Amino acid sequence: MKYDWRKEEKELYAPKTKPQVQLVPKQKYITIKGEGNPNEQEFADRVEVLYALAYGIRMAPRNGVDIEGYYDYGVYPLEGIWSTKNPDDVYDKSKYTYTIMIRQPDFVNQKDFDTVLKKVKLKKNLPLLDNIKFEELEDGKIIQILHNGTYDNETASFNIMKEYMKEHGLKQRCFEHREIYLNDSRKTAPDKLKTILRYFLEEE
């Protein structure tokens, strides 16, 4: 049976529309960095290469790559850690900096990543594949909320989290935040989008 992260990891991928404090353990990702407006082609190109490799890893056994401990699974959603080169104007999308990523199952290691990357590069002419890294990241203590609707209205959900943090004496650990995109914006109406928003919190 295919591993379904939506059902098996609800504490991470099925938050409510009210703030929730959570501990997120170390996880494995394929990542790529960028900067600028996410509505422009450079961002779309980075998303494309991430998915090309993510599906390459998932389909590895069918393409002759033996991965120890492999089990069938659904590809995890696209995620991004966002910041800006201009903290005084968080609405200027041209100043955004980001690392976008797709989580990988625990059985994937650096060797598997390197092997599959070589195979994908032989099949697809995507120069940005050379910019993808295999990393382990740990969010630690976070606060998260489910945002429904267009990305341009995320401020309302961020403000709900900020108010909750103020009431409960919680502080952000850094200026960055994480977003997890539960559906594909290319195929989903803006008012139907579902996005998990996270702030990284200071440890007590």
Write out the two tokens for 173.
Answer: 């650990």
DSSP state of 130: G
Secondary element (H or E) of residue 117? helix 110-123
**In Å, how far from its chain's centre is CA 173?**
19
pTM value surpassing 0.75: yes
User: What gap in Å lies between CA 179 and CA 158, rounded to an integer?
Assistant: 11
Angle between helices 41-58 and 110-123 (to 10 degrees): 110
Residues in Cβ contact with 47 at an 8 Å cutoff, skipping those fewer than 6 apart: 78, 100
User: What confidence category does residue 39 fall into, taking pLDDT thresholds of 50, 70 and 90?
Assistant: very high
User: What gap in Å lies between CA 36 and CA 82, rounded to an integer?
Assistant: 11
pLDDT, tens only, 44-79: 999 999 999 999 999 999 999 999 999 999 999 999
What one-letter code names the amino acid at 99? T
What one-letter code names the amino acid at 66? D
pLDDT, tens only, 85-126: 877 777 889 999 999 999 999 999 999 999 999 999 999 999
Kindly state the average pLDDT of the residues 17-23.
Answer: 96
User: What gap in Å lies between CA 45 and CA 55, rounded to an integer?
Assistant: 16
Residue 132 has pLDDT above 80, yes or no: yes
5-201 fold: Multidrug-efflux Transporter 1 Regulator Bmrr; Chain A (3.20.80)
**Angstrom distances, CA of residue 45 to CA of 2, 5, 132:** 29, 25, 12
User: What confidence category does residue 185 fall into, taking pLDDT thresholds of 50, 70 and 90?
Assistant: confident
DSSP state of 81: E
